[in-house]
A and B are shown apart, each in its own frame.
Chain A
């Protein structure tokens, strides 16, 4: 079975440009998560969706960041305009169903997108 697919794997862009990161979750998974990983802050949850609906976006840094999930098999994370401090590895993860009553449910991560904003 295919795991979580992310594209692109690497992105280099200039400050002020728009960046779009893409994610395809594992088929049958109903929950999708976007994380950012930096040396200084570690892994941070940006936003997550249940059944294509955003549930918690409190981790989204600011209005420059937006995420969508138009259907069960695709999500995007957009940064506009990008800034050098956005340079990080962005992970997408999915799980069967992210529910408080199912603690043992784990998340499966994609390979990540390494973003460098010059």
Chain B
């Protein structure tokens, strides 16, 4: 069975600092993808970044990057130069070539302090 674990229910970071949000996953499928979504207080789910299991390089999208460690089955999201607008819930999700659906983690609430 596939499973996503996000062990940090809440995180605080000072504005302009970098922060890492943890995500570990469990799957026996050789081919899979990992996704991060942001959910601000307004409620919408915003797609941030994607990492494929066979990708040679860590994914980056602007201030977002993925620290992908395949052997450890972790796909941590790194946000550089945090901004107040980064305060939100962050969800890690996975899908594989065998599984048809997304599996979401429980989320991490990030609070950026001025």
Contacts and interface: CB of A to CB of B under 8 A. Distances in A.
A-side interface size class: 20 to 34
Contacts of A114: 43
B28 interface: no
Main SS of chain A's interface residues? strand
Nearest to B94: A103
A104 B47 contact: no
Contact of B47 (A48, A100, A103, A108): A108
Interface in A73-94: 89, 91, 93
B45 A48 contact: no
Contacts of B32: 103
Contacts of A43: 91, 104
Given A101-B97, A103-B95, A104-B50, A45 B102 contact: yes
B102 A112 contact: no
A111 interface: yes
A53 to B, nearest CB: 14
Contacts of B97: 100-101, 103
A42 B46 CA distance: 16
B52 A106 contact: no
Contact of B52 (A55, A104, A110): A104
B56 interface: no
Contact of A100 (B98, B102, B106): B98
B103 to A, nearest CB: 9
Contact of A106 (B44, B47, B53): B47
Interface in B29-44: 31-33, 35, 37, 42-44
Interface in B5-42: 31-33, 35, 37, 42
8 contacts: A45-B101, A56-B100, A98-B100, A100-B97, A106-B47, A107-B47, A107-B102, A109-B44
Interface of B: 31-33, 35, 37, 42-47, 50, 52-53, 91, 95-98, 100-102, 104, 106-107
